[in-house]
Chain A
Amino acid sequence: MQTSINEPMEKTGNASQHATLIQPLNGQSLNGVKTHISVRNLNISYGNSQILKNVSIDIPDKKITAIIGPSGCGKTTLLKTFNRLIESSDGIKIEGEVLVDGENIYGKNVEVTNMRKKMGLLSQRPMPLPMSIYDNIAYGMRIHGIRKKSILNERVTYYLKQASLWNEVKDRLHQPATKLSIGQQQRLCLARGLAVEPEIILGDEPTSALDPISSQRIEEKFVELKDQYTIVMVTHILRQARRIADYIVFMYLGEIVEHGPAHELLENPREEMTKEYVKGVIS
């Protein structure tokens, strides 16, 4: 793996200060909104094929950002660079920077486990851990050193309520998580992610395996949670992006074609490719 440091970027180390210092890309303003994740000149290749080509993007703080684009365009790869899950593949080459709170997460002194703790992940298919409902939520807290039963109990309850799951499971906390319906499992995964107190929620098509009603509940949850968390989600459903996204990134063949505030990008796309995608000519 290779990580190059790009000099033009300020390395102040001060998160809040840094966030305001980042130059908006391509003259597109984030309307004065703070940036939470900045990607700079990111190139990812696997063998001879380049998956991401010189990607630079700023993800706004405490907003819902949707990454859209046809399948195979690198959406999921981009998402997985944010918590370094991408590097678990052999022969993958990563160049460029991903800054979270102003710190390059591919830097030498970065503790991967601490960095990942900042981000909750929701995968396409809900993946509860092979343990009880309670233990699923407590798992992350336990590995980060919380052992006291009373604290665990209190927090498990709190985060289950946060994910709107408490009322459905309060009488069967010690039953296997697999007994839950698939929609409930995804909310359990959300609660599990929130329990390690992240700043960012990453969603990799988090509703694609769910029925319409469960999908709607996840969407509502995201809208509710965006006051406290930065949410980045990959989606192939344009209408979903239209419904909940504040900011949209459109990718095609490993490149960012266009990005901007949701209504602007959807109503008045500047690029021909985006126009076609939004119209449904390409998908």
Chain B
Amino acid sequence: MFWRKFEERLFNFLIRLATIIIIGCLFVIVLTIVVKGLPAMSWDMISKSPSGGFYLGKEGGVLNAIVGSLYLGIGASLFALLLSIPVVVYMNVYAPTHSKFAQYIRISLDILYGIPSIVYGAFGFLIMIYLGLKVSLLAGIVTVGLLVLPIMARTMDEVIRTIPKELTEASLSLGATKWETAMKVLLRQAFPGILTAILLGFGRAIGDAASVIFTTGFTDNVPESILQPAATLPLAIFFQLGSPIQEVVNRAYASALILTIMILVISISSRLLSRRFNKNIIK
């Protein structure tokens, strides 16, 4: 009797501990960014390009990286989405149920998901050399797009897999083609999940530093073409943190704050937007 009670108490304690650690981490990270970043924050930070170099410069802002990150994040998410939708539709609609081939695709995606982003960067770099492509926004979009493809495709896949088979059959039995069924019924039903998948992908795309070092490069200017190199916030933070000048280090926290707020704004606004589409979803 004593042992069972002890077990129960112990587990209760562990539950609380884990929860406190998780919430505590979030709290400490946000607090650090805000406390250290807010003093360095200014209108200049978000409206001007850096002057005097990103490594030593105390003047200007990180507009180059904000714009670069947005271009890269949106571009890579769109690229990954364009590849994910056909893969996911194939696995769930075209492939027969319990298809071995679809299972292989899932395993491949899971393995791809586990590959570190620096490897994607190196891989992207090799391809660029082969194609004679210079460090550019385009190269970054393709590389980062491939990086976020597995997480996007698998998240969508898991959502669509939960849709009852009878719904697909209902559409097919009305004489709809597989394509019509996928586009007009399944994607509509899975819309909130697809949005989550896109947001997860976008979050990873905009936040990744390793894969963009070799592919997108870094610049003090706002990119004017997809063939120019572009700055990104994670790299800006990385460079600023490594600076010997304290003011520049503080600017790194301000950049982190900007990145966090950007992701938050996009995530919350798209969720609000998606509520308008959710009313028809069958439960």
- Interfacial residues, chain A to chain B (CB-CB below 8 A): 83, 85, 87-92, 113-114, 116-117, 119-121, 123-125, 127-132, 139-140, 143-144, 176-178, 189, 192-193, 196, 202
* Nearest CB in chain B: distance from A169 CB, A: 15
User: Is B12 part of the binding interface, using a Cβ–Cβ cutoff of 8 Å?
Assistant: no
User: Is B184 part of the binding interface, using a Cβ–Cβ cutoff of 8 Å?
Assistant: yes
Q: Are A114 and B175 in contact (CB under 8 A)?
A: yes
Given known A-B contacts A88-B96, A128-B282, A132-B280, A121 and B188 have beta carbons under 8 A apart: no
| A121, B180: Cα distance in complex, Å | 18
User: Is B171 part of the binding interface, using a Cβ–Cβ cutoff of 8 Å?
Assistant: yes
| A91, B174: Cα distance in complex, Å | 25
Nearest neighbor of B170 in chain A, beta-carbon distance: A127
Q: Known pairs A89-B96, A90-B100, A130-B185. 12 more at Cβ < 8 A?
A: A88-B96, A88-B172, A113-B176, A120-B173, A130-B189, A132-B280, A143-B176, A143-B180, A177-B280, A178-B283, A189-B170, A202-B173
Nearest neighbor of A175 in chain B, beta-carbon distance: B279
Given known A-B contacts A119-B173, A139-B174, A129 and B100 have beta carbons under 8 A apart: no
Q: Are A113 and B175 in contact (CB under 8 A)?
A: yes
Contact with B98, one of A87, A89, A120, A139 (Cβ below 8 angstroms): A89
| A274, B189: Cα distance in complex, Å | 43
Q: Are A127 and B164 in contact (CB under 8 A)?
A: yes
Which chain B residues in 149-170 approach chain A with CB under 8 Å? 164, 166-167, 169-170
Of A85, A130, A202, most B-chain CB atoms within 10 Å: A130
User: Is B177 part of the binding interface, using a Cβ–Cβ cutoff of 8 Å?
Assistant: yes
11 contacts between A and B (CB under 8 A): A87-B96, A90-B98, A117-B174, A130-B167, A140-B174, A143-B177, A144-B175, A177-B282, A178-B280, A178-B281, A202-B173
A120 contacts across to B, CB distance below 8 A: 173-174
User: Is B246 part of the binding interface, using a Cβ–Cβ cutoff of 8 Å?
Assistant: no
Which chain B residues in 115-161 approach chain A with CB under 8 Å? none
A176 contacts across to B, CB distance below 8 A: 279-280
Q: Are A192 and B174 in contact (CB under 8 A)?
A: yes
* Nearest CB in chain B: distance from A238 CB, A: 24
B170 contacts across to A, CB distance below 8 A: 121, 123, 127, 129, 189, 192
* Chain B interfacial residues counted at CB < 8 A: 28
| A226, B73: Cα distance in complex, Å | 58
Nearest neighbor of A111 in chain B, beta-carbon distance: B175
Given known A-B contacts A88-B97, A121-B169, A127-B164, A196 and B281 have beta carbons under 8 A apart: no
Given known A-B contacts A85-B169, A119-B173, A129-B171, A139 and B184 have beta carbons under 8 A apart: yes
User: Is B99 part of the binding interface, using a Cβ–Cβ cutoff of 8 Å?
Assistant: yes
A87 contacts across to B, CB distance below 8 A: 96
* Nearest CB in chain B: distance from A261 CB, A: 28
Nearest neighbor of B94 in chain A, beta-carbon distance: A88
B184 contacts across to A, CB distance below 8 A: 139, 143
Of A91, A129, A140, A202, most B-chain CB atoms within 10 Å: A129
B100 contacts across to A, CB distance below 8 A: 90
A196 contacts across to B, CB distance below 8 A: 174-175
| A91, B100: Cα distance in complex, Å | 10
Given known A-B contacts A130-B280, A131-B188, A178-B280, A116 and B175 have beta carbons under 8 A apart: yes
Given known A-B contacts A116-B174, A131-B188, A193-B174, A178 and B282 have beta carbons under 8 A apart: yes
The 7 closest A-B pairs by CB, nearest first: A117-B175, A90-B96, A121-B173, A140-B174, A130-B189, A127-B170, A176-B280
A90 contacts across to B, CB distance below 8 A: 95-100
* Nearest CB in chain B: distance from A207 CB, A: 15
Contact with A123, one of B166, B177, B281 (Cβ below 8 angstroms): B166
* Nearest CB in chain B: distance from A82 CB, A: 10
Of B170, B184, B282, most A-chain CB atoms within 10 Å: B170
Q: Are A85 and B98 in contact (CB under 8 A)?
A: no
A85 contacts across to B, CB distance below 8 A: 169, 172-173
B177 contacts across to A, CB distance below 8 A: 113, 143
Of B95, B164, B171, B282, most A-chain CB atoms within 10 Å: B282
Nearest neighbor of A1 in chain B, beta-carbon distance: B96
* Nearest CB in chain A: distance from B145 CB, A: 29
| A150, B209: Cα distance in complex, Å | 56
A113 contacts across to B, CB distance below 8 A: 175-177
B169 contacts across to A, CB distance below 8 A: 85, 121, 123, 127
* Nearest CB in chain A: distance from B193 CB, A: 12
B166 contacts across to A, CB distance below 8 A: 123-125, 127
* Nearest CB in chain A: distance from B89 CB, A: 14
| A123, B173: Cα distance in complex, Å | 11
B95 contacts across to A, CB distance below 8 A: 90
A143 contacts across to B, CB distance below 8 A: 174-177, 180, 184
